[in-house]
Chains A and B, each alone.
Chain A
């Protein structure tokens, strides 16, 4: 508006006019300020030799020393690679399993059968990784585990699963699929339910078999959803699943070679070793690169399908 007689409508006017609404939003705004924006200055710790006693303002600045130490050690390479590799495994196999489940459920017509099986398949999703780690232990424990019992029945030697790091990417991937495939398949089933039924009807009239309907109609129409969800999860590839990996692997040093990810490393540096500066250095690296990737993947997803992007 060009009229100069009215003063500019600023946020203060807005707050006064809608004070009740703003009052309602206040707790959330404060929360986002405190646990969002006000945490950003603490990232300076990465350039300091941080001391809990003197605090953020009076700790000694050391420039890029923390990064130097950190990029010179081979550890950073290992944990970054582990994070990416494990996430790639998780994304690939969870997506494939969820897709397969959705397509298979789509073929079935008996509602009760679908309901019961779906309820069973989705149950693990609600469990915490701590509980899951107990289940893994009951399967893989060297002395008592079910799998070693089966191995001994089959005549082979028991395997010390918890003493060999090479098995764990596979075990973690299997448990990931076990926990997440059900809930992910629901998203694909919702997409399938949204497919225009005239496509299928036309194909049936043309004499298409069910396999052909699945291959040439359902799957292609499902692909946009699949690619966007995959894209979004690739955006988060630098963020390791701390809740999962720490609950399962814990402080078992033998398994760290293949399972240590950025998030568990940061946790150990901060809480076990007590070196916030080192933890923050890799944390900063993860935050910056991770942000670019999340932002980029979202922008790309938005380009592919304006409705689908997360933000």
Chain B
């Protein structure tokens, strides 16, 4: 059936396009400022079309000893290790709650529910991390708060419940143990939902600065997002000092405007690269999670 284009449709398409442009505009502005020369920014302000093109900011960032590169390495390793660990833990636990031989599986589900709906809050969490010694080391970036989420686990469990149980039974009959069943049968069958939760975790680790602000004091261990955040607050601090004292404090040249924006662009980079993949699996997970958790 061919639907003819009505003025109504054109209007709707136009409104949607406006919103899409509104969504992209801040990103484009950030990108454009990052490739403008510093002088042009100081003179004309942030502009959508660079007055003077320059890649100087990127040269500074990609310098061998720059703090941004170090933070990049920290974030990439934390994301890779964390995502693999978190996904494995989650899928294995989902199998425990799915396995019909486990008669206490519903009790266990309740055990996890409780931690989902009753949260003691920030202070106990922080005290627990201190007690466990999860401060000022790389483990603090990986383990607390991110490495296991009951919500993701229930997502996987519900998916597993839709797999006919006869598959597991026949594998057991053939003498396969639980580990063999999980790794050889459930991992391949659940690959789409595993990709979804891996993306949830991966994005969580990539965008994580909460662990750093709470638990890390050593600047060498700062992840990318927190480095970025500090860049912003340093600038605010300097601006405030300048307001207070009415002069520029010597020895404290603020990080340049373009470097800030270039750092932001570099932070977004991998998300852009993975975008088609993200869209496909992330959206699926959101829908399943929202309609039935």
Contacts and interface: CB of A to CB of B under 8 A. Distances in A.
Interface of A: 9, 11, 14, 17-18, 20-22, 24-25, 27-29, 31-32, 34-43, 45, 56, 101, 104-105, 107-110, 113, 116-117, 119-124, 126-128, 130-139, 141, 143-146, 148-149, 178, 181-183, 186-187, 190-191, 210-211, 225, 229, 242-243, 246-247, 250-252, 263, 266-267, 270-271, 276, 279-280, 283-284, 286-287, 290-291, 294-295, 298, 307-311
15 contacts: A9-B103, A22-B96, A24-B93, A32-B150, A35-B115, A43-B121, A121-B23, A124-B27, A133-B229, A134-B260, A139-B29, A182-B23, A247-B209, A284-B121, A291-B117
Given A131-B268, A187-B291, A279 B283 contact: no
B98 to A, nearest CB: 9
A127 B92 contact: no
A56 B102 contact: no
A109 B291 CA distance: 25
Contacts of B264: 131, 134-135
B128 A25 contact: no
B127 A32 contact: no
Contact of B225 (A130, A190, A210): A130
Given A25-B92, A291-B117, A104 B104 contact: no
Interface in B42-94: 42, 45-48, 89-90, 92-93
B61 to A, nearest CB: 14
B214 interface: yes
B247 to A, nearest CB: 17
Given A34-B132, A250-B233, A276 B127 contact: yes
A134 B101 contact: no
Contact of A32 (B27, B47, B148, B279): B148
B233 A40 contact: no
Given A22-B96, A124-B26, A280-B121, 9 more contacts: A20-B177, A22-B102, A25-B93, A32-B115, A34-B128, A56-B127, A104-B16, A145-B46, A251-B236
Contacts of B107: 11
B228 interface: yes
By size class, the interface of chain B is 35 or more
Nearest to A278: B123
B127 A42 contact: yes
Max count, chain B CB within 10 A of own CB: residue among A104, A136, A137, A283: A137
Main secondary structure of the interface of A (DSSP, over half): helix
Given A104-B15, A124-B23, A138-B46, A294 B128 contact: no
B117 A36 contact: no
Interface string B119-130: 111111111100
Contact of A21 (B27, B95, B214, B268): B95
B178 A21 contact: yes
A248 to B, nearest CB: 10
Contact of A134 (B12, B261, B292): B261
A143 B45 contact: yes
B147 interface: yes
B133 interface: no
A27 B20 CA distance: 43
Contacts of A252: 236
Q: 6 closest A-B pairs (Cβ-Cβ)?
A: A36-B115, A25-B96, A28-B93, A42-B124, A128-B207, A135-B26
B280 to A, nearest CB: 11
Interface in B236-280: 236, 257, 260-261, 264, 267-268, 271, 275, 278-279
B112 interface: yes
A85 B150 CA distance: 29
A45 B89 contact: no
B122 A266 contact: yes
Contacts of B127: 39, 42, 45, 56, 276
A309 to B, nearest CB: 8
B112 A32 contact: yes
A45 B92 contact: no
Contact of A295 (B16, B117, B121, B203): B117
A229 B283 CA distance: 17
Given A14-B103, A28-B153, A186 B286 contact: yes
B139 interface: no
A149 to B, nearest CB: 5
A35 B103 contact: no
